[in-house]
Amino acid sequence: MEKAELKVDGMKCGHCKMAVEKALGGMAGVASVQVTLETKSVAVEFDSAKTSLDAIKETIEDEGYEVKS
């Protein structure tokens, strides 16, 4: 399992948090997701054999948020 912490702009409320957690949590290979609004960060643990960091970033961007790292 790999872990990554991404800085994400545009998340401001509980709905934003839930939207990102639901989108990433539904991806094959994603074991855990933790969104922290105060630091505008998304911590994700995933199986790189089933998904990639690029796919995770793309999913966040598809929800309408901008991945900074």
Give the angle 30-19-13 at the CA atoms, nearest 5°. Answer: 130
How far, in whole angstroms, is CA 24 from its chain's centroid?
6
Tens-digit pLDDT profile for residues 8-43: 999 999 999 999 999 999 999 999 999 999 999 999
CA-wise closest residue to 33 among 1, 69, 66: 1
Look up the domain containing 29 and give its range. 2-67
Q: How many domains, in total, are found in the chain?
A: 1
- What would you report as the CA-atom Rg of the chain, rounded to the nearest whole angstrom? 11
pTM of the model: 0.92
pLDDT confidence tier of residue 69, bands split at 50, 70 and 90: low
Banded model confidence at residue 49, pLDDT cuts 50, 70, 90: very high
Structure tokens at 42: 């998304």
Q: Which residues share a beta bridge with 24?
A: none
CATH number at residue 21: 3.30.70.100
